[in-house]
Amino acid sequence: MKQLFSTRTGQWSLLALFLLACAAPFSGAQDAADSAKPQAKRRGRLPAYFAAVVNEKQREQIYDLQAKYAEQMEALQKQLDALAAQRDTEIDGVLTPEQLAEVNKKREAAKAARAKRAKPAEEEAEAAGDAN
């Protein structure tokens, strides 16, 4: 055994075994018992600062209230989006064709600039995901 540790290959082998043993608990592999349990469905998100002060019953009541209003709020948001689109169409109608062409060109340039700024962030996130 003493001779095994004195060689360079033996030291690397020992280090590799040690790292493998240390990393095994964190590998993310699930036991059969874990995979048999149904995953708890996340029901929502608590408002800011609520998580530290509410009990489980209150938490469930809050989730129920959020679900109660979610559909109505979604419908209202769609109405707001449609109203804003109608407004923007009418505003565009005030412009001459030349003005509208210039505005559309500026809109496209701004859209391209946003996409360009977002692309490095996406690549960075992908690189971080690949490293894990």
3-class DSSP string for the chain: CHHHHHCHHHHHHHHHHHHHHHHHHHCCCCCHHHHHCCCCCCCCCCCCCCCCCCCHHHHHHHHHHHHHHHHHHHHHHHHHHHHHHHHHHHHHHHCCHHHHHHHHHHHHHHHHHHHHHHHHHHHHHHHHHHHC
What CA–CA distance (Å, rounded) separates 69 from 74?
Answer: 9
Share of the chain above pLDDT 90, in %: 55
pLDDT at residue 8 above 50?
yes
pLDDT in tens, 86-129: 999 999 999 999 999 999 999 999 999 999 999 877 777 777 77
pLDDT the model gives residue 126: 76
pLDDT the model gives residue 42: 59
pLDDT at residue 4 above 50?
no
Whether residue 103 contacts residue 95, with contact meaning beta carbons closer than 8 Å, is answered with yes
